[in-house]
Structure 1
Amino acid sequence: MTYEGTAHTFGDNVNTDYITPTDYFSEPIEEIANHVFEPIMPDFHDRFESGDVIVAGENFGSGSSRETAPKALQVAGVSVIVAESFARIFYRNGVAIGLPVVICPGITDAVSQGDNVIVDFDNQTVRNETTGENLETEPMPEEIQSIYEIGGLLAHYEQHPEGLSLD
């Protein structure tokens, strides 16, 4: 699986309240998706295009254990999130709903706002097409890749009720 898009960059400790502002929690997920990152990047919705890539620092997605934040990013059209590290529950929720989350040491030094990036799961690399720089991601188990390929943990379970399978 390969994802290509414009990078939208964020620093460390981007919490779920920054991703999905609490002012919109009573709204449908489609409306929440229109306001992702509003507290820290008010013009995000104006410059983001479906398929773009989120690049972030350490501890991305800290805070709430609700799936609202990764789901809103998925509904907004984020193709993949590449970060130095993720809050554990955000990472797990991303896998569960089929929103690709990739750990890539050094990503914040290698990618700037607006760069074009290619995230290649098969080769476990991120290439900054703008600068030509290549980085290796942390290895992703085949089981997690298979969950992404099917569209999330629930979709995987529907196809494999016996449990996690690589078939």
Structure 2
Amino acid sequence: MASEIITGKAFVLGDDIDTDQIIPAEYLAYNPSDPEERKYFGMYAMVGVPETKCGLPKGGMKFVPEGEFKTEYTVVIGGKNFGCGSSREHAPLAIAEAGARVVVAEFYARIFFRNCVNGGYLLPCETTQRLIEEISTGDEVEVDIDNAKLTNKTNGKTYELKPLGDVKPIVDAGGVFDYARQTGMLGKKE
């Protein structure tokens, strides 16, 4: 079986990116089960991240351009304690709805990690290296999920990631309930 490889531009953030920065509370009024409203989670993803925690020049580009629903960044690189704060599952949903497919951080708030997996939104990869000092926003990167490595194609450096283990099939299935249905743990959806 071929390895899953995710390529694209990186969006680099700092430490302690919390769920209110990822998707501020004022945007939680949208209904994630309504496709016409769900896209707004992508539009407002990362609007609360202060410039001091963002790897962009002051006044630089945003994660999602003004008035758009999708980002040009496929991979989010974070520091320590990514997704801290509240338990809102809308945070990984917002990042995924914007078009990112994977977040790579030094470590996560556990509830954010579980929300990524349980909702089937994002692959939450962990690294033992401080990638926010090695990778810049806009760098072309390649994340080899099955072989647990990230390559910065802009400078040619490769970094080890921690294996995802049992969480990857759950994300691939679309979340914990879809995984349970697909594996026969739950009955078919009516």
Checking the alignment, whether the CA contact within 8 Å between 1:84 and 1:105 is kept in structure 2 is yes
Q: CA deviation at 1:51?
A: 6.0
Checking the alignment, whether the CA contact within 8 Å between 1:57 and 1:84 is kept in structure 2 is yes
Q: Structure 2 CA distance, aligned partners of 1:51 and 1:6?
A: 5
- Once the two structures are superposed, the pairs formed by residues 18-167 of structure 1 within 5 Å of their partners are 18-28=21-31, 29-40=38-49, 43-46=62-65, 49=71, 52-98=74-120, 99-106=122-129, 107-141=131-165, 143-162=166-185
Checking the alignment, whether the CA contact within 8 Å between 1:50 and 1:79 is kept in structure 2 is no
Q: Deviation per CA, 1:27-73: give whole Å up to 9, x if none.
A: 23321321111122672211963561100100000011121111111
Structure 2 residue ranges without an equivalent (≥5): 32-37, 52-60
SS at match of 2:114: helix
Match in the other structure for 2:10 = 7
SS at match of 2:151: strand
Number of matched pairs: 162
Checking the alignment, whether the CA contact within 8 Å between 1:19 and 1:37 is kept in structure 2 is yes
Q: Which amino acid aligns with 2:156?
A: G
Q: Structure 2 CA distance, aligned partners of 1:84 and 1:118?
A: 17
Structure 1 residue ranges without an equivalent (≥5): none
Q: Which of the pair has more CA radius of gyration?
A: 2
Q: Structure 1 CA distance, aligned partners of 2:42 and 2:27?
A: 9
Higher mean C-alpha deviation, range 95-104 or range 30-39: 30-39
Higher mean C-alpha deviation, range 92-101 or range 12-21: 92-101
Higher mean C-alpha deviation, range 9-18 or range 103-112: 103-112
Q: CA deviation at 1:148?
A: 2.5
Q: Which runs of 4+ in 1 moved over 4 A?
A: none
RMSD: 1.9
Q: TM-score, normalization: structure 1?
A: 0.89
Q: TM-score, normalization: structure 2?
A: 0.79
Checking the alignment, whether the CA contact within 8 Å between 1:84 and 1:108 is kept in structure 2 is no
